Amino acid sequence: MNPLIQTGPDGVRRVALSPGKRVLFLTKDLELIKKQLAGDLDLRMEDVRPEDLLDDINTDVMTPAWVCFRHRPEEIALDAYAGLMDENGERVFGTRALMDGNFEVIVSGQRKGTGSSRETAPQCEKWSGIRLVIASSFAPIHERNNLNLGQLMGNHAQLKRLQDGEAIPLEEFTGRFDPVAKATLESGGLFPFAKAVARGDAQVDAPATPKRAMTMAEKIIASHLVDAPAGACVKPGDSCLVKVDGGYSHEFTTAQVHHFLLQEYGMDYELPNPAKFGVFEDHLLYADGVKKMAPFADRIQTLRDLQNEFQRHTGVRDYSAKNGISPGICHQVAREEFVDPGDFIQATDSHTCMGGGSNALTWGVGATEYAGLIYAGFTNVRVPESIRFELHGSLAEGVTAKDLILHILATFAVREDTLDRVMEFGGPGLANISVDERATLTNMATECSAKSGICEGDDQLAEWIAARRDGLSAADVKARFVTADEGAEYAGGVHTIDLGAIRPMVAQPGDPTYGKDIADLGEIAIDIAYGGSCTAGKEGDLDMYAQVLSEALDSGRKIADGVAMYIQYGSKTVMEYARSKGYLDVFERAGVRVIDPGCGACIGCGPGVSETSEQVTVSAINRNFQGRSGPGKLYLASPLSVAASAVEGRITSYRPGMFRVPTHA
């Protein structure tokens, strides 16, 4: 139980600060953080304006990849916030800095916990002694992870009252959540709550929402309710138990899942439906080849070993690497092999939402929640709100879905229109976007701090899925399509986007929301061009790289001197596709280094990472947080722009014929 919660003589549970404990303010002025950590400064809420606090603290900052190579939370906490760097590239938080600072409250600004779904982020705070997390707003997966760990969350006004000596009723911190989330938080976390349910001390009733028009996400949740009658409806805010069609974890997360299940249920625990779930070896396959990761080789192998142990123990599907080659990145393989329209999929990675391109509802969860749902076969869901994007027209030549989602990030996500909502994509313009490009849109819903993304289904999607499923016809696939009801309500609004007005874009270093038209960027020379990852390692992406590089070769050009270009396949299927199309010859002649399927530079664990802070990378991945892919400056762009930039040696957009040498009369 959280030690800040005390029951008074009147029986009311209240939250009060502990005598002698401290509050840590994460300010934009990093020197103030250093002074607090050193014990030279204690601040109060009235000393700090909300705009002075750090916004968009991402989970990479809280626990960089190398910290996640540990699977025991108490060891993870040793290097809490190891990714927060000052202007000299030095860590603001040293080893044990948060743990030894006697802090019990941590304070920041907007969108706390953006980025990856890694539960290690809130774990590093909890196991350092933090019991109350204060922020203006929270990214949805991070908020959910805090709930599952029993971490109280509050706002700046509440902190001021606490620092003034007030004991605030617990209800003020938990009352905004649905009944199940509230009970989970007040029980001390997901596992204590699950045991209360098993004892009969707590229960979750199916919602009694009357018939209403529903969004795509609402319809999928309603069709998966536990112990609910056919035709049941849900509305945003409803708390319900939902059956899960499938899921997966990878070697970055499986060890914790196994560790938690052993802790909670003993050495003989079993899963009721192991065939629905799988493990992937994809994230750390190439980490051994990165100089910065070499010291962690033993820990990485431990994670692999524990994943193999979990797979043998449970009998879940095995997507391990064979002969050193992975089947591919989990999100890409999942959409190729088993994510179907109408499915509800959960996995331990924030880019699980990529499956929404296949008209399914998919999102990432932390290790605690995943362990709970695979053990039970169902999970608790608070029905999310939705925001709809009506697409019209067609993207101009040289413009891609990556440019579209960067536009959405810079326009809608930055003002939190998408926060914790399902991004629904539809309208006549969707038919002019390929199935692979739709996966790009939904993949990056998590960069928008959205709950997930989902696209409408059509003939193009039905044929794409049927071609990859034995015994399944396009008609069978279409029968599973989920469409929004006429009159469905969208709390985030319905927004019409003219695809023809979208221009080639780039996200400037630091955050995917820092979007800008490439035409307005100015002259930016590059050292590295990277194409790959789950976002940009699909068949359609390989088509784009090959298109640009073929045109360059036909004009006597190739990768510019001083530039290293990498292309990494998203799956073995994509690799075989590229080979069948003759792309390997194109890439070799252009001077590209091709990498086998898997994750890599996107998480700093493979070829293509920068090695110095001066290096500039243009990349087709989904995130460009500080240090995410090496210490250099990382710009995000489309596959077309990445390939064109590699040839030009500077960040540029692609235009057909751009490499031709002009002729003069």
pTM summary value:
0.86
Rounded Cα distance between 126 and 622, Å, is 28
Cα distance between residue 43 and residue 25, in whole Å: 7
- Could you tell me the pLDDT band of residue 662, with boundaries at 50, 70 and 90? low
> What value does the mean pLDDT take over residues 114-125?
90
Residue 129: pLDDT band (50, 70, 90) is very high
Q: Which residues of 339-369 are buried (b: 16+ CB within 10 A; e: fewer)?
A: bbbbbbbbbbbbbbbbbbbbbbbbbbbbbbb
pLDDT (tens digit per residue) in 18-71: 999 999 999 999 999 999 999 999 999 999 999 999 999 999 999 998 898 899
Dist. CA 639–CA 403, nearest whole Å: 10
| Mean pLDDT confidence for 244-270 | 94
CA dihedral of 137, 140, 145, 151, whole degrees rounded to 10: 20
CATH 3.40.50.150 fits 385-501, yes or no: no
CATH 3.40.1060.10 in the chain, residue ranges: 385-501
Residue 438: is its pLDDT beyond 80? yes
Intervals of CATH 3.30.499.10 along the chain? 216-381, 505-648
CATH of domain 216-381: 3.30.499.10
Smallest CA-to-CA distance from 648 within 525, 551, 532 is with: 525
pLDDT of residue 665: 40
Protein fold of 505-648: Aconitase; domain 3 (3.30.499)
Which amino acid, one-letter code, is at 476?
D
Q: Which has the higher per-residue pLDDT, 198 or 468?
A: 468
Amino acid at 421: R
Q: Look at residue 485 and tell me whether its pLDDT is greater than 80.
A: yes
623 contacts 533 by C-beta, under 8 angstroms: no
Section 197-216 average pLDDT: 86
Euclidean distance between CA atoms 309 and 315, whole angstroms: 10
User: What length does the chain have?
Assistant: 665
Q: Inform me whether the pLDDT recorded for 119 exceeds 60.
A: yes
pLDDT at 633: 95
Residues 6 or more apart whose CB falls under 8 angstroms from that of 382 comprise 177, 178, 180, 181, 237, 238, 239
> In this predicted model, what pLDDT tens digit does every residue of 580-622 receive, in sequence order?
999 999 999 999 999 999 888 777 777 888 999 999 999 999 9
Write down the CATH superfamily of domain 5-199.
Aconitase, domain 4 (3.20.19.10)
